[in-house]
Amino acid sequence: MPKMKTHSGAKKRFQRTASGKVKRKQVGMRHLNSHMKSKRKRHLGDMAYVDDANMLQVKRQLVF
């Protein structure tokens, strides 16, 4: 049986931490930012963690 391939889009969007969690970028920073407050843009720039409900799907795409 051949090896499973890593999902190309997932490996660009997620990264694994040493503790086994998966980090991701937050949504909402691509466009229409001029009306946002600076605090909101600053907090959206931070990394977030993948929720437990979605962890299985992400781990399958990243094959670990």
What percentage of residues in the chain have a pLDDT greater than 70? 100
Query: What 3-state DSSP class applies to 22?
Result: strand
Q: Which residues are paired to 16 by β-bridges?
A: 22
For the chain, which domains are there? Answer: 8-62 (4.10.410.60)
Q: How far from chain centre, in Å, is Cα 33?
A: 20
Q: What is the dihedral of CA 31, 32, 37, 41, to 10 degrees?
A: -10
Instruction: For residues 55-64, give the mean pLDDT.
Output: 92
Instruction: For residues 15-35, give the mean pLDDT.
Output: 94
**What is the average pLDDT value for the chain, to the nearest integer?**
94
Instruction: For residues 6-33, give the mean pLDDT.
Output: 94
Question: pLDDT, tens digit, for every residue of 27-49?
Answer: 999 999 999 999 999 999 999 99
Query: What 3-state DSSP class applies to 42?
Result: helix
